[in-house]
Structure 1
Amino acid sequence: MASPIRLKDHERDARVVRARIWVGALLVLILVSVLFARLYHLQVTQYEHHSTLSESNRVHLLSIPPSRGLIFDRNGKIIADNRASFSLTLTRERAGSDWPTLLDDVVEVLALTPSERRLFEKRVRQGRRPFEPVPFIFNLTEEQIARIAVNQYRLPGIEVQANLVRYYPFKEHFAHSVGYVGRINEQELKQLDPVNYSGTHHIGKTGIEYFYEDQLHGEVGYEEVETNARGRVMRVLKRTDPTPGADLHLYMDADLQEVAEQALGGRRGAVVAIEPSTGGILALVSQPGYDPNLFVTGISFGAYAELRDSIDRPLFNRVLRGSYPPGSTIKPIVALAGLDSGVITPQSRVFDPGFYKLPNVKHLYRNWNRTGDGWVDVNMAIYRSNDTYFYDLAHKLGIDRLADYMKAFGLGQRVSVDLSREESEGLVPSRQWKRAVRNQSWYPGETLIAGIGQGYMLSTPMQLAQATAVLANRGQWVRPRMVRTLQDQALVVDDTPPDVSIKDPQNWDRVIAGMENVLHFPRGTAYRVGSTAAYRMAGKSGTAQVVAIRQGEKYDRTKINERHRDHALFIAFAPVDAPRIAVAVMVENGESGSGVAAPVVKKIIDAWLLNAEGQVKETTGKVEYFPPPPPVEEAHAQ
């Protein structure tokens, strides 16, 4: 049976079509509504946000590092300068993730070595701030700049920047005083102000550059610049100029510094010259030195290894970090301690047979003059540098009382104002110190050795110079300082130790008279040096042992390695009645304080006090000093 034929229902089909049209129209309306809502949200609700992002893609804020303050000597000579230089920088965010390949292209363009390529990558990988250009090649030549310009299209993120780089025209002459600047490392980057140091790649590392970093650096400036899609600056929209760092004017004298270095004659040693009235450091020499310009833009591994491994230790600051036995240079202070404490009087005498013995002890503590000086009073003890007298005096004083007087003059502590961060404290031993450090008792023999500046006692040349200045000032304390003015403003120091106060002020004259006789009395240990002076000066020689000599054995330089021979020291100030300069000299392994160090001191004082005609620049007047005791048999003085 055939199936019935189904008739088409046009009405039903029409309803289905209309329903589909409405559903489609509704979907279109919903999508259009969502689109308009999104457009409204982006262009109205979030207008400020997206306009800022858009502007940020076009406008950038670039930091302008300030120019570093200059450093001058007392006569206006530039010691630390800024010189124009061109450096090649890389901004990693603009170079993309394949920036190491970009360095390969730079090496190819400039025809550099693989070792330089490794150094560049190390510099780029160091800590930095986002979108900050990192300099990796310094002091570009004109040819290198031209090569980069020709290949700029293939070097995105690479730019040639003009900047100021620190330059030290005197090179090694002020390396240990002014110091140097160097590249900021990752540790320093974490500690520095990220805002003020944005765009700055160098910071003071040592010396004055380090201590006055905040003042020398200045305040950062800014530029709002418009860039294209490649990040190239099209125009400057706004500029805020940076504030340059403050200029420093030092007490130091470049001419006197040169004289001091020449006087050392290339020997290893240290020189400090101080103006007693102000504490101003006139000269500071540590030899051998080094060229600080090597460190400014980054020293090579080979050059640094040569400096670091040198047996002469040119990187070691002997003035501030060198701790040496002061030897006989402290005897004037020991004598003053004895007079002030009442242990001795100006008339007290000790017989010197050439040695000293403690009661009930067999050991002999030898005088440098093995034949002895006979009867010795305090004046003769100073100008003859008589060890026997000071053995006896130290024994009577005791180590603790002796240590108190030493510290009052600045020994065993940091004394300078603006070099103290690098200065060693030295060591003034005492019972308490030995018990705390070595857990041992103090022995009387150690007191005797301390009385002539040997044994545990250690001091820096800076401390000896300051102690000499305090003697010259008759007890007045003025801290040594490098900087005279900061941007034409005098520096005020308010942490000066108390003056050295003694019961009888005449004891200053008595001790200084003995120091004067060291140089101006025929039997003084440095008479050959002082007898030719056109002025009166007071001084004291010293010899510090490097290696011990056994009981009864004589010092024989021919049997001792040159670097194991005694150190030579000398301190002095002049003119005696109105001191204008105090000097401390230490010559490593120089052996004779009066024969080697004293001539160095005289050359420095001559250069400071005398004019071209060899006459004292200012009248000092007649100097009175205590007459020496009756002469005894002459003996050779070291």
Structure 2
Amino acid sequence: MEPHYRVRIYLLTALILFGFGSLLTRLHSFQIERKEHFQAQVPGSRIVTVREPGIRGNITDRNGVELARNLRNYEVSFNLDEIYRAYRRQHDDAPSIDRITNESGLQRKKTEKDIAKVVNDWTVGRLKELGLDKSYNESALRVHYRTHGGLVPFTYRADLTYEEFAKFAEHNLELPGVTIRTKPQREYPYGALASHVIGFVKQWEKKDITDAEKREFNHYVGDERGEMGIEGTMDKHLRGISAKTQVVMDEKGAIISSFPESNPRAGSNVQLTLDARIQLLAENVLRENIGRGAAVVMDVNTGEVLAMASVPDYDLNSFVPSITAKQFAAYNANPFKPFTNRCLSGFAPGSTFKLPTAISGAMKGLATNSFSCSPGYIKFGNHSVGCWLYNQRKGNHGTLGLSKAIQQSCNPYFNKMANAVTPRGMAEGFTLVGFGQKTGIELPNEEPGLIPGNKEWKARNPNATVTPVENAFLSIGQGYAMATPLQLCAMVSCIANGGKYYSPRIVKRVVADDGEIVVNDTPKLKVDITEAGVKPSDLDLIRKGMWMAVNEAGGTAGKVKIPNIEVAAKTGTAQTIDRGKKSHNAWVVSFAPFDKPKYAVCVLVQNGGSGGAVAGPLANMIYQGIFGQENEGIRLRLFPQTEFAGNDKRYEAEDMILPENFLSTIQATPADDGESGDEADTTAPESVSSSAKPTAPKPTITEEAEAEGLIPRAKPVRGRRR
């Protein structure tokens, strides 16, 4: 072929390729880059599918007092895609911004739409003219759009008054992409009251949206999720049923009409066993007298928890709708752990463990045996366990029976009984009444405690054996022994009611929105210990000893005594390490009335003196409040609680001065002669302690979103209004 023909063919080929390249470039520009712009020019309406969350159920106490409920909240949200499309209908170009990203360790510059400028120019400007604008976090809006696009509306305002809501509704057609709606917002009307029991909710997250939902909905609003407490454990019942709505929009993005395919439905209501007035009583008895501790009140005949107080605590409303980063950091920085529910945390129980030791002895037929306290201590190799009487240089108790040993809280008696029972028998007896295992109460982060020799202990220590000294320490609640206030209260309830161990429960019933009973109000009888070898007469001996501890001279629990009601109790004082220093846990476990038991009360004071001198008066005040309301017509107050930060002060007998007019006249009682906590030369691990650390809460945190290296353009992109 001639050379000049070849040149012509090459030129023709180049022209064709250039033409196709130009065509493809223009097609990409029209169909990809400017697709939204041209779609916006097409007249006519379109249908958008919206998901709306269900309405969360309420949480009430046993008497119907609302502890968690929903308020009607007026909210303004932006559909950022709609706003962007409306902006592009009036502008040839849209503003953009450069963002520095870090990919595989390399910094790169990426150009993206400046959605914040679009919103400010197109929407917020109009709201300002109407007097409805409010400052907002532009960085958060950019991050939201980058993450969700138009699928999830951006909440602009959630604090509208009804008048502002009405004004928004009046001008809604002038504000494309702006949606106003009523949205339920969680409220805790009593603030910090029962915060460890109720818990809080957190906002839903992107990961909650399934792929199927992304395909089904153009706009998605998720459900709040329960976090901590009953909000968390009962979340599947409390969550409502979501709704689906078809929204018709005109070519300008304004809403023409909406057709709900289904309406949002409320979740179930959860009724707790708590009595809000007794709960507030218990909390304030702790708050006004100690820095850290717990109190549990139970119905001995059903296992229902009437109060579960733990201090320090936190304000539930701090998490509505989300907690600030500053406030959350302050909670976490508090060394006294306000998120820890001490009622479910393991502590060295001290002499309160003489009661399950007595039960273990009764199972082996030893309840009627006598053991000698002489000479006032027992030697186990290099270890010795002394009686408090001997340690105070007052001699020893001589030979005692079970009731007297409980009244006097004699260490050698129970040391000898424990080793007569054997470590295996002790583990069986303690397990029978709920120690060394979770009770199964409907709350998160419950700790099992620790009982040397039981199944869980052997699983962690397969080659270890329980020595006589470790078994002796277990009998008086020292050494490795750990128990929670709830476990101790449930055990005392079992003793009080004649041997029936009811699993503690905090949920009374769950009722669906249509009235269907989802969870029935049924006591959970776990075991009757009289069928395991414990005779009713053995329990009578244990109860008599507890009665003597309160009502007879020489008892360790005299300060629990109240007028006109006979109370039975057992005190305990455990050596421990608290914040790196030697300390004591002060305990009292009790029940009343003695002849027809109804209530069990367990009180723990961290860094307290002796159980009788420090925890005893607190139980006294709780009983006075309960029976004052029940028998004397006194109505316990109910009001919002502020949060209590706690302290690590040492509390002694002189700090526990009973108010002279606390509901009724206080009967004077002799000074406490109980154990000092120095009977055994052993120290328990630091409280709060257990093999499992409580899970930290994971709330929704409101904070300034990172700007992520945004670089505004030096020259704004030109645009013109049509």
Instruction: Specify the TM-score bucket, using the shorter chain as the normaliser.
Output: 0.7 to 0.9
**Pair 1:79 & 2:67 matched:** yes
Residue type at the aligned position of 1:99: I
- Could you tell me how far apart the structure 2 residues matched to 1:279 and 1:431 are? 24
Name the CA shift for 1:563/1:312 in 2 (closer, same or farther; >3 Å).
farther
Displacement of 1:70 after TM fit?
1.4
Structure 1: gaps of 5 or more residues: 1-53, 548-559, 618-633
Query: Contact conserved, 1:71 with 1:249, CA < 8 A, in 2?
Result: yes
Normalised to the residue count of structure 2, the TM-score between the two structures is 0.69
Q: Which has the higher contact order (CA 8 A, sep 6+)?
A: 2
- Other-structure match for 1:66: 54
User: Who is 1:507 aligned against?
Assistant: 538
Alpha-carbon shift at residue 522 of structure 1 (Å): 1.5
State yes or no: 1:405 paired with 2:436: no
What corresponds to 1:557 in structure 2?
A: none
Deviation for aligned residue 1:514 = 0.8
Gaps of at least 5 residues in structure 2 are 1-41, 85-112, 636-671, 677-722
Change beyond 3 A, Cα 1:460–1:271: same
- 2:356 equivalent in structure 1: 333
Find the aligned partners of 2:145 and 2:323 in 1 and give their Cα distance: 16
Supply the distance in 1 between the matched residues of 2:52 and 2:579 (Cα, whole angstroms): 56
The reply to whether residue 101 of structure 1 matches residue 117 of structure 2 is yes
1:592 aligns with 2:610: yes
SS of 2:501 mapped into structure 1:
coil
Q: For the aligned residues, what is the CA RMSD?
A: 3.5
Count of residues in correspondence between the two structures: 548
Q: Residue 528 of structure 2 aligns to which amino acid in structure 1?
A: D
Aligned to 2:200: 180
Q: Does residue 265 of structure 1 match 2:318?
A: no
Change (3 A) 1:209 1:375: same
**How far apart, in 2, do the equivalents of 1:401 and 1:430 lie?**
9
1:481-500 per-residue CA deviation (whole Å, 9 max, x = no partner) reads 22222226362669753332
The structure where strand makes up a greater share of residues is 2
Q: Distance in 2 between matches of 1:123 and 1:147?
A: 27
AA aligned opposite 1:257 = Q
- Partners of 2:301 and 2:196 lie apart in 1 by 24
Task: Show the counterpart of 1:3.
Answer: none
1:207 aligns with 2:229: yes
Distance 1:188 1:494, change over 3 A: farther
Give the distance between the partners of 1:390 and 1:122, measured in 2 at CA.
65
**1:132 maps to 2:175:** no
Residues 90, 124 of structure 1: 8 Å contact kept = no
Check the 8 A contact 2:299/2:305 in 1, yes or no.
Answer: yes
Distance 1:597 1:337 in 2: 26
- Match of 2:558? 527
Query: Could you tell me how far 1:119 is from its partner in structure 2?
Result: 4.6
Q: Distance in 2 between matches of 1:56 and 1:590?
A: 76
In structure 2, the residue corresponding to 1:352 is in which secondary structure? coil
Which residue of the partner structure matches residue 23 of structure 1? none
Normalised TM-score (structure 1)? 0.77
Q: Name the CA shift for 1:137/1:401 in 2 (closer, same or farther; >3 Å).
A: farther
Mapped partners of 2:302, 2:56: distance in 1: 27
Which residue of 2 is the match for residue 448 of structure 1?
472
Q: Percent identity?
A: 27
Q: Mapping of 1:195-594 within 5 angstroms?
A: 199-266=221-288, 267=290, 268-320=292-344, 322-342=345-365, 344-358=366-380, 361-369=381-389, 370=391, 371=393, 372-419=396-443, 421-430=444-453, 436-438=459-461, 440-487=464-511, 489=517, 491=520, 497-500=526-529, 501-503=531-533, 504-530=535-561, 532-547=562-577, 564-594=582-612
Which amino acid counterpart does residue 132 of structure 1 have in structure 2? V
What do the CA deviations read for 1:384-403 (whole angstroms, capped 9, x no partner)? 11111111122222222211
Contact 1:537/1:576, CA 8 A, preserved across alignment? yes
The one-letter code sitting in structure 1 at the alignment partner of 2:184 is L
Deviations 1:595-616 (A, max 9, x none): 1112222222222233477499
The question of whether the paired residues in 1 share the 8 Å contact of 2:271 and 2:509 is answered with: yes
Residues 188-197 or 296-305, more deviating: 188-197
The alpha carbon displacement at 1:238 in A equals 4.4
Equivalent in the alignment of 2:623: 605
Measured in 2, the distance between the counterparts of 1:303 and 1:233 equals: 39
Describe the superposition over 1:295-333 as per-residue Cα deviations: whole angstroms up to 9, x where unpaired. Answer: 13111110100001111211112122x210111112111
Q: CA deviation at 1:473?
A: 2.3
Shift in Å, 1:84 = 1.5
Question: Judging changes above 3 Å, is the alpha-carbon distance between structure 1 residues 111 and 132 closer, same or farther for their aligned structure 2 residues?
Answer: closer
**Partners of 2:582 and 2:211 in 1: how far apart?**
43
Q: Secondary structure at the match of 2:198?
A: coil
* Contact kept? 2:202, 2:321, Cα under 8 Å: yes
Name whichever of 64-73 and 285-294 sits farther off.
64-73
Return closer, same or farther for 1:613/1:584 CA change in 2, 3 Å cut-off: closer
Measured after TM superposition, the shift of residue 545 of structure 1 is: 1.6
More displaced stretch, 89-98 vs 243-252: 89-98
Query: 2:408–2:556: 8 Å Cα contact kept in structure 1?
Result: yes
Q: Name the aligned partner's letter for residue 258 of structure 1.
A: L
Q: 1:122 to 1:589 in 2, by over 3 A?
A: farther
Aligned to 1:422, the other structure's residue is in SS state: coil
